[in-house]
Amino acid sequence: MNDQITADGLPQPAATTEALSFSGSAGEYFRIWIVNLCLTIVTLGIYSPWAKVRRNKYLYGHSHLAGASFDYHANPVAILKGRLIAVGMLALYLVSAALVPVFSLAIGALIALAVPWLLVRSRMFAMRNTSYRNVRFRFRPVYAQAYKVIVGYLLLTIITLGIAYPWARYQRSKLIVDNTSYGTLDMQLDEEVGGSNFFVIYTGAGFLALIVGLVMAFALGMGASMFGGAGSLEDVPFIGMFLSVVFPILFYLALYFGTEAAIQRLILRSTAIASNQLQCSWNLPGISLIYLTNLFAIALSFGLLIPWATIRLQRYKLAGLALTLGSDELDAVVAAQTEEVSALGDEIGEAFDYDFGL
């Protein structure tokens, strides 16, 4: 093989940082999206795995880091098989829910028991089929650990009436990050970060929700007494309507998105790929606003603005990410051995709407 021309063998100067970026455009993606959708509907859903691959190829292909882009390699036929089985199970579940609730409970319990397994399979499939510079990502088949973390911390969350939830969420994120690798470079979550950091974010959000709730209740009471009515909302004019209905919905949605983004930002910031440190500079109000306006754009356009919303979010997310390079150069990552993984876990998870994200 050809040798890289190195800079006279001089060691790298102080850490360089490579920014991630997204080059997709709403116009291009709209065309891909609508053709995908049309073919999926016309073929009664059979085309949907090809649509998924094409969509991901576009989104990954336009995600850049250090002059190279990502790629998605899933085999549509594998996805179709997984999807057929998942849809069959979902249909069985829905029909039995209507006819024999006891049976559907059994299926539901079975699926719930399989969640840790599904999570691992889903991550394995997703990582196995993601590449950067012709080297695949990988997720280790850590089934036992997944059961311990997910079932164990679920029980702990229930016993502590939810107080342990931040720790449960942390453990899940840690499981996902620590078992992912890019070629032979392992990812790991910073040891300094722990469940207590997650706890701080959730309690902060809780306090914010409480304070704003109280202020709104107070303002509403003031408004009601000012406008005379005996506290009846119908007598309060537009401003009361805004304060009592529209503003709380907007605020709590934004808070939900902001909290979720804060958690993800913390995870991303604390993730290293061997000696390369990931950076994340998302602005929380900014990203909440994007989520919120996307939501309204999608609802009000009956879905036609989905491509625009997707591209906009992706652009913002990637623009806020960067990688500070360490001693493990991205130019010399060796691919690790990875086996093919069936799409079953991924598709069952999708069919039953489990969120396997960070």
Binding site for another protein (CB under 8 A): 1-2, 4, 23-25, 28, 30-35, 37-42, 45, 48, 50, 52, 54-55, 57-58, 61-62, 68-69, 71, 94, 98-101, 132-135, 183, 253, 257, 260, 291, 294-296, 298-299, 302-303, 306, 310, 330-335, 350, 353, 355, 357
Q: Between residues 30 and 251, which has the closer beta carbon with respect to another protein?
A: 30
Annotate 255-303 with three-state secondary structure.
Answer: HHHHHHHHHHHHHHHCEEECCEEEEECCCHHHHHHHHHHHHHHHHHCCC
| Closest approach of another protein to the CB of residue 233, in Å | 13
CB 82, CB 348: distance < 8 Å: yes
| Closest approach of another protein to the CB of residue 66, in Å | 10
Q: Between residues 31 and 231, which has the closer beta carbon with respect to another protein?
A: 31
CB 166, CB 199: distance < 8 Å: yes
3-state secondary structure of 346: helix
| Closest approach of another protein to the CB of residue 120, in Å | 19
Q: Which two tokens stand for residue 127?
A: 């990582």
| Closest approach of another protein to the CB of residue 350, in Å | 8
CA distance 118 to 354: 9
Q: Between residues 142 and 343, which has the closer beta carbon with respect to another protein?
A: 343
CB 344, CB 297: distance < 8 Å: no
| Closest approach of another protein to the CB of residue 50, in Å | 8
| Closest approach of another protein to the CB of residue 133, in Å | 4
Q: Between residues 226 and 304, which has the closer beta carbon with respect to another protein?
A: 304
Q: Which two tokens stand for residue 334?
A: 């060796």
Using CB atoms within 10 Å of the CB of residue 149, give its burial: 0 to 12 exposed, 13 to 18 middle, 19+ buried. Answer: buried
Q: Between residues 135 and 154, which has the closer beta carbon with respect to another protein?
A: 135
Q: Between residues 152 and 357, which has the closer beta carbon with respect to another protein?
A: 357
Residue 145, H or E segment: helix 143-159
Q: Between residues 10 and 99, which has the closer beta carbon with respect to another protein?
A: 99
Q: Which two tokens stand for residue 262?
A: 């804060």
Q: Between residues 142 and 317, which has the closer beta carbon with respect to another protein?
A: 317
Residues 207-225 as b or e (16 or more Cβ within 10 Å = b): eeeeeeeeeeeeebeebbe
Q: Between residues 192 and 355, which has the closer beta carbon with respect to another protein?
A: 355
CA distance 340 to 185: 20
| Closest approach of another protein to the CB of residue 58, in Å | 5
| Closest approach of another protein to the CB of residue 170, in Å | 19
CA distance 140 to 343: 15
Closest CA to 315 of 19, 24, 4: 24
| Closest approach of another protein to the CB of residue 343, in Å | 15
Q: CB under 8 Å to 270, separation ≥6 — which residues?
A: 189, 190, 192, 193
One-letter amino acid of 116 = P
